[in-house]
């Protein structure tokens, strides 16, 4: 996969399960798109849904067919037409929720702007504005915005010395940080994206796969479809909160207008809709389980269902199984442990539950 996304499950695990899945696969908690990607690899049609526009962007470049030649030409055009902007901060980029409380994963900074040196900030903002001006196929334009996002962490003060990725799911500036020159970071991302687009044919948007931004509880699921999903687990990773790092930049551009050409509507960034435990947002464990139950109930009439759930204690496992039993018929329970998965969060659980109702 081209772009990383927090908590992504190994493709090999999903592929093993997908062998027995045939039809139109819907993943309403799509995240980085691993399930949809696997469904397509197994000759299924797929529908992706997530409330997070950044997750949608990650999935788009991972699965959609993008012309590598045009991408390379337009990337070169972006850099050739950069005009340094006199802008030194992003609008309303403070790390807090609408209720006024700071992000749970915030450590030693108050806003996104603080993660960048003035020199890199100006260069990044200028590259973003240059992307806005490029005329290209919509798929290529979206890929350019994704390339820009891919270069943000590397050119930020969050980048630890001798580290190339955002490995700690928090907002913090380490004592020893080593940001890369923004133009070089963008060039490196272009090279990596280009290589990926040349190696992978990709899939045709709205023919092989539909990519949507929306709420899993508001979606109308066809009875004859297959729901295969991995909902966000408890509180380990605050997906929307961390994605704000990218969204604060993207909303300064024409990104939303470009996405409207694909979806027919402009995406919104609504942290309040996220199904995940968060004490600063007032989302308790009971509220989380209540919302998860509402989703499980909503898809009960769907022909075939697969729920992959991450857990770190047996009591939580039994609670999930109980909710599913109350709403689905003829369920099958399997347990997996992903030994190679990197430890995320203080609990670092590697156990997974698969409840299916084929």
Answer whether residue 34 shows pLDDT above 60: yes
- CA–CA separation, 94 and 92 (whole Å): 6
CB 303, CB 225: distance < 8 Å: yes
- CA–CA separation, 27 and 229 (whole Å): 5
- Indicate the number of domains in the chain: 1
Beta-sheet strand order (sheet of 332-337): 209-213, 45-50, 24-27, 226-229, 304-311, 351-357, 332-337
- CA–CA separation, 275 and 200 (whole Å): 33
Answer whether residue 93 shows pLDDT above 70: yes
Count of Cβ atoms closer than 10 Å to residue 258 Cβ: 17
Q: What is the pLDDT of residue 142?
A: 98
Q: What is the pLDDT of residue 344?
A: 52
Model pLDDT for residues 182-230, shown as the tens digit of each residue = 999 999 999 999 999 999 989 999 999 999 999 999 999 999 999 999 9
Question: Per mean pLDDT, which range of 57-66, 106-115, 121-130, 304-313 is the poorest?
Answer: 304-313
Strand partners of residue 334: 354
Q: 332-337 and 45-50 as β-strands: parallel, antiparallel, unpaired?
A: unpaired
Answer whether residue 110 shows pLDDT above 70: yes
| CA count, 13 A, side-chain hemisphere, 86 | 0
Domain that holds residue 185: 11-308
Q: What is the pLDDT of residue 326?
A: 94
Query: Which residue in the block uniquely carries the two structure tokens 């919509």?
Result: 138
Query: Which residue in the block uniquely carries the two structure tokens 């347990």?
Result: 335
Residue 236 located in a structural domain: yes
- CA–CA separation, 269 and 37 (whole Å): 24
Give the residue-averaged pLDDT of 84-104: 93
Residue 341 located in a structural domain: no
CB 45, CB 208: distance < 8 Å: yes
Query: Which residue in the block uniquely carries the two structure tokens 């000759």?
Result: 43
Residue 298 located in a structural domain: yes
Model pLDDT for residues 301-316, shown as the tens digit of each residue = 999 999 998 888 888 8
**Percentage with pLDDT > 70 across the chain:** 97
Model pLDDT for residues 149-173, shown as the tens digit of each residue = 999 999 999 998 877 778 788 999 9
Residue 328 located in a structural domain: no
Local structure of 49: helix, strand or coil: strand
Q: What is the pLDDT of residue 126?
A: 97
Residue 250 located in a structural domain: yes
Q: What is the pLDDT of residue 10?
A: 79
Q: Which of the pair, 161 or 273, is modelled with greater confidence?
A: 273
Q: What is the pLDDT of residue 300?
A: 95
Residue 235 located in a structural domain: yes
Q: Residue 337 — very low, low, confident or very high, per pLDDT cuts 50/70/90?
A: confident
Q: Residue 342 — very low, low, confident or very high, per pLDDT cuts 50/70/90?
A: low
Residue 46 located in a structural domain: yes
CB under 8 Å to 130, separation ≥6 — which residues? 78, 79, 81, 82, 83
Q: Residue 347 — very low, low, confident or very high, per pLDDT cuts 50/70/90?
A: low
Count of Cβ atoms closer than 10 Å to residue 93 Cβ: 19
Answer whether residue 289 shows pLDDT above 90: yes
Give the residue-averaged pLDDT of 54-78: 97
Residue 344 located in a structural domain: no
């Amino acid at each position: 996969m081209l772009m990383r996304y927090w908590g992504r499950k190994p493709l090999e695990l999903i592929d093993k399960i997908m062998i027995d899945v045939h039809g139109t696969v819907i993943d309403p908690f799509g995240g980085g798109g691993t399930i949809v990607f696997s469904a397509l690899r197994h000759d299924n049609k797929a529908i992706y849904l997530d409330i997070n526009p950044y997750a949608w962007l990650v999935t788009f470049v991972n699965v959609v067919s993008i012309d590598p030649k045009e991408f390379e030409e337009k990337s070169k055009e972006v850099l050739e037409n950069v005009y340094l902007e006199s802008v030194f901060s992003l609008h309303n980029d403070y790390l807090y929720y609408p209720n006024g409380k700071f992000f749970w994963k915030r450590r030693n900074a108050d806003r996104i702007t603080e993660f960048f040196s003035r020199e890199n900030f100006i260069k990044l903002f200028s590259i973003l504005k240059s992307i806005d001006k490029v005329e290209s196929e919509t798929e290529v334009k979206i890929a350019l915005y994704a390339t820009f996002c891919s270069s943000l962490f590397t050119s930020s003060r969050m980048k630890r010395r001798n580290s190339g990725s955002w490995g700690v799911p928090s907002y913090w500036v380490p004592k020893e940080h080593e940001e890369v020159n923004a133009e070089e970071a963008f060039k490196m991302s272009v090279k990596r994206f280009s290589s990926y687009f040349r190696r992978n044919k990709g899939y045709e948007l709205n023919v092989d796969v539909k990519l949507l931004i929306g709420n899993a509880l508001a979606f109308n699921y066809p009875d004859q479809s297959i729901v295969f999903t991995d909902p966000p687990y408890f509180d380990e990773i605050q997906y929307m909160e961390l994605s704000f790092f990218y969204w604060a930049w993207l909303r300064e551009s024409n990104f939303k207008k470009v996405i409207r050409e694909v979806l027919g509507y402009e995406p919104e960034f609504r942290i309040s809709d996220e199904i995940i435990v968060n004490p600063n947002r007032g989302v308790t464990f009971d509220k989380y389980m209540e919302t998860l139950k509402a989703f499980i109930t909503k898809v009960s009439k769907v022909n075939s269902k697969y729920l992959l759930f991450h857990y770190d204690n047996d009591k939580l496992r039994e609670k999930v199984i109980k909710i599913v039993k109350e709403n689905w018929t003829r369920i099958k329970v399997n347990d997996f442990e992903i030994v190679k998965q990197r430890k995320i969060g203080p609990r670092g659980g590697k156990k997974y539950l698969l409840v299916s109702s084929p």
